[in-house]
Homo-oligomer: A and B are copies of this chain.
């Protein structure tokens, strides 16, 4: 399931220049060590120049022609982006198959675009909407009055609970849950009374959510995942959280209720954020960090509790120094004992 293109066709499409044979036929992309003559490969890092030299790749994407001699090259200012686009050309997704599968259940009051694809055993509830050219895979459940925009791809078994909204061009991987109840209880006399969660979850345009990600609905108001944000597998986003635009949330991150992330924030894998804090735009939270208080813009924090990365490095270094410090104290004690003995 791969297209065959010439190097020139790829170069034209991704905005690059060919050095060498523009008519070379390409039918796949592979890393340097696996590529054959029919493959396009890529050299991002000059460290791998030797590997590129010995690779059997038919052609190589590079940032500048002097990175690799004697090869057919596709020269692009942003080689990783060029690789992404070349992959789209060579391995395009299968064409949409408009129509609703015979086994799906679409409520008579729901609205499914004519050119959308709705797979087997999908449920589309009352008053729900699926937009143009969206693909809803097997077993998805679109709740009552929920809306999925256009050109989305919901992989199998995604749930969008009632009244929640998914924007355009979103990709939701298998097992995603949008709009589960937030975790809110009023405890009285040892009994945890449920606080009804009557808000919604809103996924803006161009968002991608990994497998088994959970986004709770707001208690009141909404939980929001901002435009262009990409979320890895098994991430938890609690009620009334606001995630800004263009953020990156790596696998198994957890964000507690009502916290607010600015735009372009990056959270490393398994990081945690307590409730009701603000993380400033462009800040970077290291993998496994615990954000226990608000973080300014453009910061880099690490550890538990999270502190500026340099401070964390120093604290860790100090820990290693305690042994040495103890030895120095012993020397001092001995010296002083000597003096007393004098």
Contacts and interface: CB of A to CB of B under 8 A. Distances in A.
A30 interface: yes
Contacts of A119: 123
A251 interface: yes
A46 to B, nearest CB: 17
B251 A251 contact: no
A329 interface: yes
A141 B195 CA distance: 27
Interface in A102-125: 103, 105, 119-121, 123
A251 B183 contact: yes
A174 interface: yes
Contacts of A101: 105
A69 interface: no
Interface stretch (A5-13, A47-55, A269-277): A269-277
A233 B123 contact: no
B326 A228 contact: no
Given A123-B121, A139-B139, A214 B192 contact: no
Contact of A191 (B246, B319, B339): B246
When all copies of this chain in the complex are counted, the total is 3
Contacts of A81: 186, 188, 193
A323 to B, nearest CB: 6
Which of A121, A156, A248, A250 gathers the greatest number of chain B CB atoms within 10 Å?
Answer: A156
A236 B332 CA distance: 52
Contacts of A220: 29-31, 34
A152 interface: no
Contact of A325 (B105, B181, B326): B326
B214 A214 contact: no
A175 B177 CA distance: 8
30 contacts: A30-B220, A81-B186, A81-B188, A81-B193, A84-B185, A87-B198, A93-B196, A101-B105, A103-B105, A105-B121, A119-B123, A121-B121, A180-B233, A183-B251, A192-B228, A192-B230, A211-B214, A212-B212, A214-B233, A216-B233, A234-B236, A234-B254, A250-B256, A251-B256, A269-B274, A270-B272, A287-B290, A315-B319, A318-B323, A328-B329
Given A30-B220, A103-B103, A210-B214, 14 more contacts: A29-B198, A31-B221, A81-B193, A83-B195, A171-B181, A177-B212, A191-B228, A194-B208, A233-B236, A269-B272, A318-B322, A318-B323, A325-B325, A335-B336
